């Protein structure tokens, strides 16, 4: 399943990975997750009992809402690189009394998810942090079941910004072009569609690219 993976919120410090700049869960994160998760459930074709990974889950806003969506018979893997995020994830899951969430430490080149464990994966606000995108894409694909879906949510390079250290220079700044995500992930998974204006919240320039494993 997804979140199937907030910052690869699998993360990838980097926080494949996006929540690495944050110090904790915020009201804005919660509002964004509440707005986005119902749409993601539809796009990722999630049903109760399925498994989803939240790669780069950050502080868990999307993880918790995915857990409720797939229900007690489903499963959510939540991954991140940072120790603060992992600790916060576990605390949030415990606070919400969720028994269907597994928190995993990710790596720079791997989600560390079990092979073909997921019906869907979410990688939100994290792709632009990947220093080894080819390896991570292969790891994301390996975690998906045949027919499984991957949603990558990210933003175009911001004007007058630098590419983060270690990230491929073709990103063109802090962020990543839609075309780069489509090309790099599309070399492994089938591109289904791109939604150029994904969020109407604080990050109004987010786009979503959806892929399916053959």
Question: What's the burial of 143, exposed, middle or buried (CB within 10 Å: 0-12/13-18/19+)?
Answer: buried
List pLDDT tens digits, range 15-44.
Answer: 333 434 567 899 999 999 999 999 999 999
List pLDDT tens digits, range 169-181.
Answer: 999 999 999 999 9
- 8 A C-beta contact, residue 185 and residue 211: yes
* Residues with Cβ within 8 Å of residue 206, at least 6 apart in sequence: 125, 153, 154, 155, 197, 198, 199
- Residue 100, both tokens: 């269907």
Q: How far is CA 76 from CA 66, 118, 141, in A?
A: 7, 9, 17
Q: What is the mean pLDDT of the chain?
A: 89
| Domains present along the chain, CATH in parentheses | 18-212 (3.40.50.150)
Place of tokens 């991957």: 150
At CB < 8 A and 24+ separation, what contacts does 22-29 make?
A: 22/58, 22/59, 23/84, 24/59, 24/88, 25/59, 25/60, 25/61, 25/88, 25/92, 28/201, 28/202, 29/58, 29/59, 29/61
List pLDDT tens digits, range 85-110.
Answer: 999 999 999 999 999 999 999 999 99
Q: What is the C-alpha separation between 126 and 210, in angstroms, rounded?
A: 15
CB atoms within 10 A of CB 81: 24
Q: What is the C-alpha separation between 86 and 78, in angstroms, rounded?
A: 9
| pLDDT for the residue 199 | 76
Q: What is the C-alpha separation between 3 and 57, in angstroms, rounded?
A: 7
Whole-model pTM: value is 0.88
């Amino acid at each position: 399943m997804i979140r199937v993976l907030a910052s690869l919120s699998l993360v990838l410090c980097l926080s494949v990975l996006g929540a690495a700049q944050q110090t904790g869960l915020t009201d804005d994160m919660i509002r964004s997750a509440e707005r986005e998760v119902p749409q993601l459930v539809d796009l990722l074709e999630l049903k109760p009992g399925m498994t989803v990974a939240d790669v780069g889950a950050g502080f868990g806003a999307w993880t918790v809402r995915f857990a409720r969506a797939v229900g007690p018979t489903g499963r959510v893997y939540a991954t991140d690189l940072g120790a603060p995020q992992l600790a916060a994830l576990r605390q949030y899951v415990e606070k919400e009394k969720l028994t269907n969430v597994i928190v995993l430490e990710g790596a720079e080149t791997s989600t560390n998810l079990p092979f073909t464990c997921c019906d869907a994966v979410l990688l939100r606000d994290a792709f632009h942090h990947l220093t080894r995108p080819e390896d991570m894409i292969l790891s994301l694909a390996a975690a998906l079941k045949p027919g499984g879906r991957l949603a990558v949510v990210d933003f175009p390079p911001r004007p007058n910004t630098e590419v983060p250290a270690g990230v491929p220079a073709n990103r063109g700044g802090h962020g990543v072009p839609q075309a780069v995500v489509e090309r790099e992930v599309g070399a492994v998974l089938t591109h289904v569609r791109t939604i150029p204006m994904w969020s109407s919240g604080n990050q109004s320039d987010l786009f979503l690219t959806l892929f399916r494993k053959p």
